[in-house]
Structure 1
């Protein structure tokens, strides 16, 4: 793994913090997006297979299964992304299934900066069919909703890699008393360093979230593990966070995932 850049750039005046920062290095799974195009109005040009890992495009949907709808409004939900779990690197303490397809959908009626289970839907398929005759291929029934509500149209592949970072917003609260003063000075320095050096990961699984919100205490108090942090690569002001109980993740039970949305 690559040494977090923050440790390489640490100014001499903060050297006394190094051992504390090193002890708070956390692993995570980085998601890198590669643009493939965008859906035409007739939905005919998704370059990726229905069962492939992707952001946007057409989702994997077995015939006979209803398209996901908002439980409160009954409206169809927007497909965000799907992940073939076999492509995700293993990470100690992050018990994602080693196979199957994990999908994320979003309601278009999402309250901002509220942590809860309702606005999004996460669906897990333990087995993946690559036989198109068993899958829905005609999604014309989504057209009116898709263009009336301006669903995301861009399509991306995803590359996964394991990284390590120091999530300062979290470890700052556990700094020892003897380092409090230098920690406060470092915090002020970090506020300038972060935007200038583009520190931060826009999409990840596990680890801790980046804070882009004025109410970070909501995320501080979130229970469970960070399942996914998703900053849409085209609609870059949209941030979504998904949390799951560790025991539920081990059981591959995604029914109780908590989600949080904000637009910067």
Structure 2
């Protein structure tokens, strides 16, 4: 069930309806469908190299180096990739409309520290579906992936355009301009929406997304104060639900398809 804050708004908060409607933020919900499992890096991936996925093997043209952790010298873990042609379009959120966008993680990542180094992003603007042009043998990852216990489950991805006010996050980092005559009512609304989100488990529902605002829990709200730019990706990993990955990008870099300065952090609950 997809919740709708406007539809579910109690009558006593009707004076806030116009304010809420005017401040709905579109975002892309990531829906995961479990598809398979890799016993080792030598196994074949059941999904095609160019499909949107979490886990499995990445799309990697021959001649392109697999990402290496600069601190440890180990191969980075492939987290997920997005075939950008699958994405809904959001005005003002300049995600690429074609190509493959990939996210990798180091295995020695400090928790709750913003950094442009601990993760790595690759973007391929053109996609080849000729497997003769692609790396298909990933046995070179076997030793590292087994030693460091990489995630092994594979998920196919679907993307759905949704919208939300993100009331809690915006009250901390991008406060709404609430008219004085609605201030007292908005304070009552604070309590109602907190309970509403808890009862409907909305933090988990919105937890995998592109755009929007970060879900506030644990130490997240303390960390994103220093983040530059907007939320690019929030991934609550479906195989290890305590593992959360966050990526932030400046609008100007996103428009230029420059992912080299994306800031990221990792948190395990």
TM-score when normalising by structure 2:
0.91
Identify unmatched segments of 5+ residues in structure 2: none
Structure 1 unaligned spans of 5+? none
CA distance in 2, matches of 1:155, 1:73: 26
Alignment of 1:108-257 (within 5 A): 108-172=107-171, 173-176=175-178, 177-200=180-203, 201-257=206-262
Preserved CA contact (<8 Å) 1:104 1:123: yes
Instruction: Tell me what 1:84 maps to.
Output: 83
Aligned partners of 1:240 and 1:31: how far apart in 2?
A: 14
Offset, 1:187? 1.7
Deviation for aligned residue 1:262 = 1.0
CA distance in 2, matches of 1:81, 1:124: 12
Output the aligned Cα RMSD. 1.9
Residues 175 and 183 in structure 1, CA contact (< 8 A), matched pair in contact too: no
Relative to 1, partners in 2 of residues 1:127 and 1:72: Cα closer, same or farther, differing over 3 Å?
Answer: same
Distance 2:102 2:29 in 1: 17
Distance in 1, matches of 2:96 and 2:56, equals: 23
* Equivalent pair of 1:84/1:99 in contact (CA under 8 Å): yes
Name the CA distance, whole Å, in 2 between partners of 1:159 and 1:8: 25
User: Alignment partner of 1:226: what SS?
Assistant: strand
Residue 215 of structure 1: CA displacement? Answer: 4.3
Secondary structure at the aligned position of 2:28 is classed as strand
Please name the residue that 1:93 is paired with: 92
Partner Cα separation in structure 1 for residue 181 and residue 37 of structure 2: 53
> Aligned in 2, Cα 1:260/1:179: closer, same or farther, shift over 3 Å?
farther
TM-score (norm 1): 0.93
| Deviation digits for residues 16-60 of structure 1 (CA, Å, limit 9, x no counterpart) | 322222221111111111110111236323111112211100111
